[in-house]
Each structure stands twice: as C-alpha cells, then as structure tokens.
Structure 1
Amino acid sequence: MAFFNWEEKYSVGVPRFDNEHKKLIGLINNFYEAMKAGKARDVMESTCNELVNYTKTHFANEINALKKTAYPNIPAHEKEHAYYTKQVEDMKAKLDSGQPVMASNMGNFLKSWLVNHIVGVDTTYGKYFK
C-alpha cells in the first residue's frame, strides 16, 4: 500500500504540474516502501539523485510557466524552490562524502515537501493558468 495516494487536494489545477507532482509522490512512495522493508539505505543515493534531477527540471518548468502568467508571488515561490533545492543538494553532498543521513530525516523532508510546498504553496497558482 502506498504511503501517499494522489488526491484532489494535491492538485494545482495544471495537468502538467500535477503530473510532475505525481512523480514526486512516486519517489516518496518508493522511498517509504524501502524504509518499511529495511532497505532505505540501499535507495537513499538513487532517491537523492532523482530528487536533484527533479528539482532542476520541475522548478525550472514551474517558474518559467509562472512568468507567463500574472502570478504575483514569483519571488517568494523562487525562494521556496531555493530552500528545497538546497536541502536536496546538502543531503546529496552528505551521502557523496560518506556522512550518515538518517532515513527518517529524508522521509520527513519528503513528506514536508509534499504537504508544505505543494499543498501549502503550489495550489495557489492554479487560478492564474485559467
């Protein structure tokens, strides 16, 4: 059973970004499945690498699209993206250098990203795409 199932409350009202957010939910679910199986350490590096790629692509796509709308909060949105990007880069740097990263910290970070950023921030921009 998935840790997170896609629900309408996660929808930002823009199919392209909903699909990209579903990819993040897939990463979260895969990571939590590995945690449940006691194999979180085995997938931390690959999950982190996927997150690095995801942040680069998704955040750029989002900001570029927002700049074509009348969305008023682009600077704040970019600041949010910078925060999540830094968190992912810091986690990757720790893993790459052999420093320990707690699986629960990574899991909590991913959950926070979904709840605080997507539901709390991204859902505000959908009306600007109509």
Structure 2
Amino acid sequence: MSEFIWQDDYKIGHPTVDAQHQHLFDLANKIVEADSSDTLTHLFMLFYQHIREHFAAEEQLMKTYEYPDYTAHVATHNRMLDRLNEITQTIADRQWHSANIRIFISNWVLVHILEEDKLLGDYLKSRQGLNA
C-alpha cells in the first residue's frame, strides 16, 4: 500500500510541474518500500536526480515569468538539496532509517508544495495571458 498518496489538492495548475511532483510521489513510495540496500541506493539516486531536474525546471519557469519570490524559492530548493545530500550520506554509511524519507516527503508536501509551490502556481496563472 502506498504511503504517499497523490491528491488533486497538490496540483499547482502547471501540467509539467504537477506531473513531476506526482512522479516524485511514486519514487518516494518505492523508496520507503525498498527491501535491500542496493535497491534503496538505486531508487534514491533516481529520486535525487529527478528532484534536481524538477527544481531546475521550476526555477526556469520562475525566471521566464519573472517570479518575484524567485530568490527565496531557490533558497528553499537549496536547503532541500542539502537535506537530500545528508540522507544520501546516511544511505552510503548504511545508517538509513525509512523515517528520514517519510519526514522529508511530508515536509516537502506540507510546506513546499502546498504553500510555496501553490503561490508559484497562482502567480503563473495570473501571468498566463501575458507570456503565453
């Protein structure tokens, strides 16, 4: 059974960003269900790579549409990447605890997607007709 359930409430209204977020949910579920260290390492590498690609795409959107909170949003991304690097090290050291990814995803959903990314989505909707 999936631990992280995608809901329409998580959508910000941008199809690419929403699809990337949903894919991250899928990867997170696979990570918490990993049954071996090798599987966990592989899945977490995919998760990290996808997050980096997602952040780059999101940051490009913010630049394109001149998002006023760009700097603060990117700083949040960087803090999340720092946390992912810490988790990666715990995996490499075989000190992994599945609670780490649960906490990270919960915080990411509750704070980043539902608050910060939603603000970005609202801004993009307001600009939709200007730079379409």
Q: How high is the TM-score relative to the length of structure 1?
A: 0.84
* Shift, 1:127, TM fit: 2.4
Is residue 86 from structure 1 mapped to residue 82 from structure 2 by the alignment?
A: yes
Q: Would you say the 8 A contact 1:94–1:101 is kept in 2?
A: yes
Give percent identity, aligned residues only.
26
Counterparts of 1:70-81 in structure 2 under 5 Å?
Answer: 70-81=66-77
Q: Would you say the 8 A contact 1:95–1:101 is kept in 2?
A: yes
Match of 1:116 among 107, 111, 129: 111
Give 5+ residue unaligned stretches, structure 1. none
Report the counterpart of residue 120 of structure 2 in structure 1. 125
Rounded Cα–Cα distance in structure 1 between residues aligned with 2:64 and 2:37: 41
* Shift, 1:41, TM fit: 4.5
Rounded Cα–Cα distance in structure 1 between residues aligned with 2:13 and 2:107: 21
> CA RMSD for the aligned pairs?
1.8
Q: Which amino acid aligns with 1:31?
A: I
Q: Would you say the 8 A contact 1:48–1:91 is kept in 2?
A: no
Secondary structure at the residue paired with 2:41?
Answer: helix
Is residue 14 from structure 1 mapped to residue 14 from structure 2 by the alignment?
A: yes
Give 5+ residue unaligned stretches, structure 2. none
Q: Would you say the 8 A contact 1:2–1:29 is kept in 2?
A: yes
Secondary structure at the residue paired with 1:22?
Answer: helix
Q: Which amino acid aligns with 1:29?
A: N
Match of 2:49 among 50, 53, 73: 53
Report the counterpart of residue 3 of structure 1 in structure 2. 3
Q: Would you say the 8 A contact 2:28–2:47 is kept in 1?
A: no
Rounded Cα–Cα distance in structure 1 between residues aligned with 2:32 and 2:87: 17
